[in-house]
């Protein structure tokens, strides 16, 4: 595969290299293709992607602002380990914003909005039948985004999305484990039902318990994959990759 082709091809569509690299790395981090703690060298990434250090570096700075990577000057850049604090903060932000938007959506959402949401629910049910969790993730994202748009606050979605990224990293582990797609879809449906009926408090409660379920899921994951999480009170001083000994004789790694 030649990833540079994909990059340069997309550049024609009005997005610059920095944005492309940013999105690429972001998706790799959220999907855990890049595991927490992994080292991200500007040089290596630039070489791998066939671009210069500049856009890579700028992407890493942005990811650092999002809390997805930790940059230690003169030491290295690492995929951020999942921190209890960050998870809790993300959960708080998400819950506050999504529920507030939903409350605004009650009595404001049009029939068209509701119809669109129900269409998404049907599509989500499809992904369950096809056993396509990846597809569900995309539709889940869209569902929550549209819910906020129905409340008249589409601009706030990026903020939620950023918080969500922290949760999603751990969630990727939980979903295939629990296989709770039908449960999640049921909760989505409940939210839309209450929204349609105009019951403000019940809608809020439905969405809140849904978000909380995802949150508690993350907590259970922690016991199973402690290596992905940061120690509670041990500020991780990451280790540099031990240098591979350039030993001609036995270095035949293929």
Partner DNA sequence: ACTACAACACTTGTATGGTAGCCGACCAGC
Partner DNA sequence: GCTGGTCGGCTACCATACAAGTGTTGTAGT
Number of chain residues interacting with a second copy (CB under 8 A): 24
Task: Report d(CA 63, CA 55) in Å as an integer.
Answer: 12
Task: Give the one entry of DNA, a second copy, none that residue 108 binds, where binding means its C-beta sits below a cut-off of 5 to 8 angstroms depending on kind.
Answer: none
244: left (phi over 0), alpha (psi -120 to 50) or beta: beta
Residue 114, Cβ density class (10 Å: 0-12 exposed, 13-18 middle, ≥19 buried): middle
Please, which contacts does 217-224 make with residues 24 or more away whose CB atoms are closer than 8 Å? 217/170, 217/171, 217/174, 217/178, 217/180, 218/87, 218/167, 218/170, 218/171, 218/174, 220/174, 221/170, 221/173, 221/174, 221/177, 222/82, 222/170, 224/173
If one asks whether residue 242 binds DNA (CB under 7 A), the answer comes out as yes
Which residues in the 137-176 window bind DNA by CB under 7 A? none
Judged by CB under 8 A, which stretch of 89-97, 115-123, 174-182, 244-252 contacts a second copy?
89-97
Closest CA to 194 of 117, 80, 246: 117
Judged by CB under 8 A, which stretch of 3-11, 80-88, 127-135, 137-145 contacts a second copy?
80-88
Task: Report d(CA 7, CA 13) in Å as an integer.
Answer: 10
Which residues in the 186-225 window bind DNA by CB under 7 A? none
If one asks whether residue 53 binds DNA (CB under 7 A), the answer comes out as yes
Judged by CB under 7 A, which stretch of 33-41, 81-89, 148-156, 181-189 contacts DNA?
33-41
Judged by CB under 8 A, which stretch of 25-33, 39-47, 83-91, 176-184 contacts a second copy?
83-91
- Closer to DNA by CB, 53 or 225: give it: 53
Distance of CA 62 to the CA centre of its chain: 15
In the 8-state DSSP scheme, what is residue 233? S
If one asks whether residue 239 binds DNA (CB under 7 A), the answer comes out as yes
Please write down the HEC assignment for all residues of 18-45: HHHHHHHHHHHHHCCCCCCCCECCHHHH
- Closer to a second copy by CB, 75 or 96: give it: 96
Binding mask 146-185 for a second copy (x = CB under 8 A): -------x-xx--x---x----------------------
- Contact residues toward a second copy (CB under 8 A) are 16, 18, 58, 61-62, 65, 73, 85-86, 88-89, 92-93, 95-97, 99-101, 153, 155-156, 159, 163
- Contact residues toward DNA (CB under 7 A) are 11, 16-18, 39-44, 51-55, 57-58, 60-61, 71-77, 237, 239-240, 242-243, 245
């Amino acid at each position: 595969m030649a990833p540079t082709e994909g990059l340069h091809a997309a550049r024609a569509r009005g997005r610059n290299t920095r944005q492309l690299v940013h999105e690429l790395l972001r998706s790799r981090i959220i999907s855990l293709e890049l595991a927490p703690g992994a080292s991200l060298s500007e040089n290596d990434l630039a070489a791998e992607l066939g671009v210069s250090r500049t856009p890579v570096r700028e992407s890493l700075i942005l990811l650092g602002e999002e809390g997805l990577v930790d940059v230690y000057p003169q030491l290295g850049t690492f995929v951020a380990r999942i921190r209890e604090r960050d998870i809790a903060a993300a959960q708080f932000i998400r819950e506050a914003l999504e529920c507030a938007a939903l409350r605004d959506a009650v009595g404001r959402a049009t029939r068209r909005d509701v119809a669109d949401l129900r269409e998404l629910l049907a599509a989500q049910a499809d992904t369950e039948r096809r056993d396509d969790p990846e597809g569900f993730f995309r539709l889940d994202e869209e569902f929550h985004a549209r819910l906020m748009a129905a409340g008249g606050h589409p601009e706030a979605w990026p903020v939620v999305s950023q918080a969500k990224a922290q949760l999603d990293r751990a969630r990727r582990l939980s979903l295939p484990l629990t296989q709770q797609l039908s449960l999640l879809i049921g909760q989505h449906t409940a939210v839309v039902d209450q929204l349609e009926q105009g019951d403000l408090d019940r809608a809020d409660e439905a969405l809140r318990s849904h978000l909380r379920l995802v949150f508690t899921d993350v907590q259970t994951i922690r016991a199973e994959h402690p290596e992905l999480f940061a120690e509670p009170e041990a500020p991780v001083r990451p280790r540099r990759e031990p240098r591979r000994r350039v030993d001609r004789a036995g270095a035949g790694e293929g």
